[in-house]
Structure 1
Amino acid sequence: MGEIFAGKIMKIEGGRMWIVANAPPEELAAYRKYRDVLIECRDGRLRSLQQLRKAYVLLNAISAWSGYTPVEATKEMMKMAFRASVITLQEGLPSLATMDMTECRKFIDFLVRFCVENNVPLYKVGMYDLAEDIPAYIYQCLLHKRCAVCGRRADLHHVDRIGMGGDRRHTGHLGRRALPLCREHHTILHTMPEQEFMDQYHLVPIPIDRRIAKVYRLNERSEKDASDSHRENP
């Protein structure tokens, strides 16, 4: 493991960066044969108040779900788990007070993922309003069969529908876009234009991959593979 030296980006141009950094003593650098470096660019923007509010809504929900563990204790535990889940050159735990915008975005999405995986209930606000990375949130909901709107048990809604008379057992599902929705929100979707429903809840349909197909026991062939097989075996 190498040493970490602080530096400043002096210029970015043509896909290259010029960096000035504190250097080790020349004798040490020669002895250790330093050649390669890892660079971690820090976001210079402080996390926003909106992000801070989102983080505390999620932390309060996790605190209540865990048996009303004090929020500050929950915050420290979640920060430790978050730091262990990411690759970073930073030392110590992040502070919400000084966290930059990009790191706070990742922390919020880490909390959202934790809530989806553990079915942590939220009140008065939808998880879709808290997630910073909506596609990643929808993907986790698909994997855990959670409605992306309310968090209840979900079924699969095919955005790319299977045609009338199509057999779901033999139809290729890979690549078809889908959403996880409970029966109530599935019914609501069918009473209004689909895009209007998705815009209202900030939903983004996700292409079905093999992990999702296994969860819902779907045919893991792609639509093209299934079509080719049907032509070969009419």
Structure 2
Amino acid sequence: MRGEIIGQKGDVLTVKLFDELDIKEVKKQAVDGRYYVYVDVFEKDSITDLQRKHFYALCGDIEDKTGYPQEVVVSWIKFLFMKQEGLPEYPSLATNQMKKTTASHLIEFTILFCIKEDIPFRKQQFYLTTDTSKMLYALTMKKICWVTGKPGADLHHAVNLVSMGNNRNKFDHLKSKYMRLSREAHQEAHTMGLEEFCEKYHVKPIKLSKSDLIELGVISKKENEND
């Protein structure tokens, strides 16, 4: 039950409710004809509704892929997260029970789990409540589109492009910045222009190391040995 404190006089507190009060349910909890409540002041650093929505959407993606019910997926992900983070107890996503930073880490953990297990993403911009750079790098190495979450996406030279007429084998790919995009998103990036595209989808091209580029097949091992 959510609300706003609008007045206090002695031990009498006046609260304006944001949610409808189910008086029938309240009466079921009566103790000797009296009705008791617990007042918990909202913390500004508490998990947001958007973060909670993103987490459950990701668990829904895992449910679709694995066939396990969402409540099982949620419990399993929270258990794995608890073990990794060394939390003293099972994490709760309830308001005032989890901080925004912890929620962000949980979402990041869940996204990385999905990437590792080849779980396809249904929702665009699913990573926006996390460390974006870290997520974009993981998506790039797994060949997943930054915009749509679709697998098998192209590696796009977003900065220092390989233009037509250049010898791709002699091009210094380390000077480029990259984006991983599906064919449709790739075409949109070329048509729209980099700055407008990045602003629309809240992304920024990233640098890749030589070992990353070798792993992705952009630089061959033979080229690297000849450097």
Per the TM alignment, residue 214 of structure 1 is displaced from its structure 2 partner at its CA by: 2.4
- In structure 2, distance between residues paired with 1:210 and 1:200: 29
Identity of aligned residues (%): 28
Which structure ranks higher in relative contact order (CA pairs < 8 Å, sequence separation ≥ 6)? 1
**Structure 2 CA distance for aligned equivalents of residues 57 and 157 of structure 1:** 28
Q: Which residue of 2 aligns with 1:132?
A: 130
The CA distance in 2 between the partners of 1:129 and 1:144, in whole Å, is: 15
Letter in 2 for 1:74: V
Q: Does 1:93 align with 2:90?
A: yes
Match runs of 1:86-165 below 5 Å: 86=85, 88=86, 90-97=87-94, 98-123=97-122, 125-128=123-126, 130-152=128-150, 153-160=152-159, 161-165=161-165
Distance 1:150 1:136 in 2: 17
Code of the residue aligned with 2:133 in structure 1: it is: P
**Count of matched residue pairs:** 177
1:158-179 CA distance string (max 9 Å, x none): 1121355332223222252100
Question: What displacement does 1:129 show?
Answer: 5.6
Q: Distance in 2 between matches of 1:133 and 1:151?
A: 16
Unaligned runs of 5+ residues in structure 1 are 1-42, 230-234
Unaligned runs of 5+ in 2: 1-42
Distance change in 2, residues 1:180/1:190 (3 Å): same
Tell me which residue corresponds to 1:200: 200
Q: Deviations over 1:28-73 (max 9, x none)?
A: xxxxxxxxxxxxxxx9821111111111111122122111x22221
8 Å contact 1:155–1:180 — kept in the other structure? Answer: yes
Per the alignment, in what secondary structure is the counterpart of residue 103 of structure 1?
helix
- 1 CA distance for matches of 2:82 and 2:49? 22
Residues 155 and 180 in structure 2, CA contact (< 8 A), matched pair in contact too = yes
| Residue in 2 that maps onto 1:15 | none
Instruction: Check whether the contact 2:127–2:135 (CA below 8 A) recurs between aligned residues.
Output: no
User: CA distance change for structure 1 residues 66 and 75 in 2, over 3 Å: closer, same or farther?
Assistant: same
- CA distance in structure 2 between the partners assigned to 1:113 and 1:100 by the alignment: 20
Alignment of 1:189-228 (within 5 A): 189-219=189-219
The residue type equivalent to 2:140 in the other structure is L
RMSD over aligned Cα atoms: 2.5
Q: Contact 1:80/1:93 (CA < 8 Å) preserved in 2?
A: yes
Letter in 1 for 2:185: H
Question: After the TM superposition, which of the residue ranges 104-113 and 162-171 deviates more from structure 2?
Answer: 162-171
Corresponding position of 1:177? 177
Structure 1 equivalent of residue 69 of structure 2:
70
In the TM superposition, what is the alpha-carbon distance from 1:131 to its structure 2 partner?
Answer: 4.5
Question: Compared with structure 1, are the counterparts of its residues 131 and 91 closer, same or farther at alpha carbon in structure 2 (3 Å cutoff)?
Answer: same
Q: Does the 8 Å contact 2:111/2:127 carry over to 1?
A: no
- Provide the C-alpha distance between the structure 2 equivalents of 1:95 and 1:202, rounded to a whole number of angstroms: 29
> Residues of 1 paired with 2:139 and 2:203: CA distance?
11
Q: Letter of the aligned partner of 1:94 in structure 2?
A: P
Please state whether the residue corresponding to 2:104 is helix, strand or coil.
Answer: helix
- Output the CA distance in 2 between the equivalents of 1:128 and 1:170: 36
